[in-house]
Amino acid sequence: MGKRTRILALLISIGLLLVLSISSAYLACEAGHDCIGEECEICENIAWTRALLQSFAGLGVVLLMLLALHDDLRASNNRTDNIHIPVHRTLVSWKIRLNN
């Protein structure tokens, strides 16, 4: 990964973290507001913010699934044969010495 890609990934991560924290803080501050009824602007903002946080949660699940798939594909591409054999992580594969 190049330096520009790492910086871009860091900036995107910081931006997402700021959006999530500010949205959560807004929900916490406005949770007990005095509602004026049908056309309450704060209630609309709360609904929009909750939808935003739920979409980020869905995005996080999709990203975790893609990460798991990427690791599985990378492990299968490292083998020379075409037979899919699951990669098992053991103490020996991690080169942990067993002194007993």
Q: What is the pLDDT of residue 84?
A: 56
Q: Which residues span the domain enclosing 53?
A: 23-30+41-58
In a domain, 12, yes or no: no
In a domain, 92, yes or no: no
**Residue 7 predicted with pLDDT over 80:** yes
In a domain, 46, yes or no: yes
Q: What is the pLDDT of residues 32-90, one digit of tens each?
A: 888 888 888 888 888 888 888 888 888 878 887 887 777 666 666 555 555 555 667 77
Structure tokens at 72: 């599985």
Q: Give CA separation, 91 vs 3, 39, 84, in Å.
A: 34, 61, 22
In a domain, 45, yes or no: yes
Sign for the pseudo-dihedral over CA of 31, 33, 39, 45:
negative
In a domain, 18, yes or no: no
Place of tokens 């997402």: 16
Sign for the pseudo-dihedral over CA of 64, 67, 72, 75:
negative
Domain count, the chain: 1
